[in-house]
A and B are shown apart, each in its own frame.
Chain A
Amino acid sequence: MLSHTTTRDWLIPYADGMLAADERRRIDGHISGCAACAAELREVRELNLLLVTLPPAPPVAFAPFWLNLQAVLPQRRVLRIPSFPNYRRLGLALAAATVAMLLAAGSALAAPSALPDNPLYPIKQLEEGIKLTFTAANDRLTLQLQLASERLREARAMANDHKPLLAVNSLRAFRVTIDDSAAALKNPANPQAAKAAVLALRVELAAVEQANVARGDDDADVKQLVLAATDELDRIEGSEAVTTQPPVVVGEQATPQPTPQPTPKPKSSDSDNKKTSGDH
Chain B
Amino acid sequence: MAKVQDAPSLEEDAEERRLIDRSAAGDQEAFRQLVLRYHRLVINVAFRALGELALAEDVAQDVFIKVYKALPAYRHDKPFKHWLHRVAANAVTDALRRRRPIVSLDGMEQPPASRDADPQDIATRHDLQRAVRHAIASLPSHYRDTIALQAFGELSYDEIAKTLDIPLGTVMSRLNGAKKLLRERLGSIAHPEEEANTA
Chain A residues close to B by CB (< 8 Å): 9, 12-13, 16-18, 43-44, 46-47, 50-58, 60, 62, 65-66, 68-70, 72-74, 76-77, 165, 168-169, 172-173, 175-176, 179, 220-221, 224, 228, 266-267, 269, 272-273, 275-280
Q: Let me know if A60 and B40 touch, CB within 8 A.
A: yes
Q: Let me know if A54 and B111 touch, CB within 8 A.
A: no
Known contacts A55-B47, A279-B5; 10 additional CB pairs below 8 A are A12-B172, A12-B180, A47-B183, A52-B1, A54-B51, A57-B40, A60-B40, A60-B53, A60-B57, A176-B21
Q: 6 smallest A-B Cβ distances: which pairs?
A: A57-B47, A76-B26, A51-B151, A54-B48, A172-B21, A278-B5
Which residue on B lies nearest to A173, using beta carbons?
B25
Which residues on the B side are within 8 Å of A9 (C-beta)?
176
Q: Let me know if A70 and B32 touch, CB within 8 A.
A: yes
Which residues on the A side are within 8 Å of B180 (C-beta)?
12
Contact (A74, B152) CB under 8 Å given A52-B1, A60-B43, A221-B75: no
Q: Let me know if A43 and B191 touch, CB within 8 A.
A: yes
Q: Let me know if B175 and A62 touch, CB within 8 A.
A: no
Q: Let me know if A66 and B32 touch, CB within 8 A.
A: yes
Which residues on the A side are within 8 Å of B21 (C-beta)?
172, 175-176
9 A-B pairs with CB atoms under 8 Å apart are A46-B191, A50-B128, A50-B190, A55-B47, A56-B111, A57-B47, A74-B68, A276-B41, A277-B40
Residues in B34-78 with C-beta less than 8 Å from chain A? 35-41, 43-44, 46-49, 51, 53, 56-57, 60-61, 64-65, 68-69, 72-73, 75-77
Q: Let me know if A43 and B183 touch, CB within 8 A.
A: yes
Q: Let me know if A73 and B28 touch, CB within 8 A.
A: yes
Q: How far is the CA of A18 from the CA of B173 in the complex (A)?
A: 12
A55: which of B32, B48, B65 is its contact (CB, 8 Å)? B48
Tally of contact residues, B, Cβ under 8 A: 70
Q: Let me know if B2 and A52 touch, CB within 8 A.
A: yes
Which residues on the B side are within 8 Å of A220 (C-beta)?
77
Q: Let me know if B40 and A276 touch, CB within 8 A.
A: yes
Which residue on B lies nearest to A235, using beta carbons?
B14
Q: Let me know if B37 and A275 touch, CB within 8 A.
A: yes
Q: Let me know if B65 and A276 touch, CB within 8 A.
A: no
Q: Let me know if A280 and B2 touch, CB within 8 A.
A: yes
Which residues on the A side are within 8 Å of B41 (C-beta)?
276, 279-280
Is B162 part of the contact surface with A, judged by Cβ < 8 Å? Answer: no
Q: How far is the CA of A68 from the CA of B26 in the complex (A)?
A: 18
Q: How far is the CA of A273 from the CA of B26 in the complex (A)?
A: 24
| Dominant secondary structure at the A interface | helix
Is B95 part of the contact surface with A, judged by Cβ < 8 Å? Answer: no
Which residue on B lies nearest to A70, using beta carbons?
B28
Is B89 part of the contact surface with A, judged by Cβ < 8 Å? Answer: no
Q: Let me know if A47 and B33 touch, CB within 8 A.
A: no
Q: Let me know if A224 and B61 touch, CB within 8 A.
A: no
Q: Let me know if B175 and A50 touch, CB within 8 A.
A: no
Contact (A57, B128) CB under 8 Å given A66-B32, A70-B28, A266-B33: no
Is B110 part of the contact surface with A, judged by Cβ < 8 Å? Answer: yes
Q: Let me know if B75 and A58 touch, CB within 8 A.
A: no
Which residue on B lies nearest to A175, using beta carbons?
B21
- The smallest beta-carbon distance between A276 and chain B, in angstroms, is 5
Q: How far is the CA of A221 from the CA of B76 in the complex (A)?
A: 8
- The smallest beta-carbon distance between B113 and chain A, in angstroms, is 10
Q: Let me know if B2 and A51 touch, CB within 8 A.
A: no
Q: How far is the CA of A221 from the CA of B75 in the complex (A)?
A: 7
Which residues on the A side are within 8 Å of B26 (C-beta)?
76-77
B25: which of A16, A172, A278 is its contact (CB, 8 Å)? A172
Which residues on the B side are within 8 Å of A13 (C-beta)?
172, 175-176
Which residue on A lies nearest to B33, using beta carbons?
A266
Residue among A13, A228, A277 with the most chain B CB within 10 A? Answer: A13
Which residue on A lies nearest to B113, using beta carbons?
A55
Is B143 part of the contact surface with A, judged by Cβ < 8 Å? Answer: no
Q: Let me know if A66 and B72 touch, CB within 8 A.
A: no
Which residue on B lies nearest to A55, using beta carbons?
B111
Q: Let me know if B37 and A276 touch, CB within 8 A.
A: yes
B36: which of A73, A176, A272, A278 is its contact (CB, 8 Å)? A272
Q: Let me know if A72 and B24 touch, CB within 8 A.
A: no
Is B179 part of the contact surface with A, judged by Cβ < 8 Å? Answer: yes
